[in-house]
Structure 1
């Protein structure tokens, strides 16, 4: 169940998601995210908007991206390069936030079993690894983020957020639409500090 920060709780869960993906991607850093009791702290996200050439929604609605054009507050799950599942949270029409990395906190035994590794830093550092660790697949595509299997809770305090260019895109590569928990060792890729 989604627990909203007190500053926005009066607007309700739907309005939390029914905003720019940039706002939501920034604010999700530090949230706790669990699926069936397995998960951790969101430490990295990327925003995708309908006027963004790197977004799946850029060319309009298709069978594959239909969830992005549906109601906000739902999961958009797709397979990347035919190999890995990727989880997105749908925001305003045609926009979504890609979850790139978590700091693993809950259900570590199940994550290690699913990922077949021993390094906690590698459990959820990347969208494909995250989905494998949390057992997220196409069955979650279109699922409400407010169902009983999903928990989202806000951070306890202020979170230092870094921003940088997105990873693995060939279009709109200059947009600083990747956000992360500054200094976290669980990021999929470090944020480059601007030169003085």
Structure 2
């Protein structure tokens, strides 16, 4: 039996070469998020691993942005379809729940793409590392700036924007509404 070969860090591993594993990684890294189509799954940090088994099966691991994310089925289907279009007949998608996804995994390119699309990218989480999530009973405080004019004079209009992972804000300076990706 041929040993399993693995790509461990999708975002920083160099691309290129004729190797089937590298090509599978490159293809998987082009699949876009169905709710944030300006981001690839790699830029969103959802694409965690691509490996090939001895029998040629491509196994892709993805992590949901939050429990119950409705986009997971579409992500899976899109990954399978794209890889099969590129000649990989046997493709499996595995959901990896540990460690849990965090907005810190969004790449700098992904954050720039969000802002360019008019969506406020998340800030960094305050504590580094695995720490308990503090329970606060008051309103969520975020450092949010308007993606159109840059003003920090913004107000939360809804804790839920166009998707559950985004909050809706309005800029008091230019009066434009915009989504903000919640820090997780």
TM-score class, shorter-chain normalisation, is under 0.3
Structure 1 or 2, whichever has the larger Rg, is: 2
TM-score (normalizing by structure 2): 0.27
TM-score (normalizing by structure 1): 0.26
Higher strand share: 1
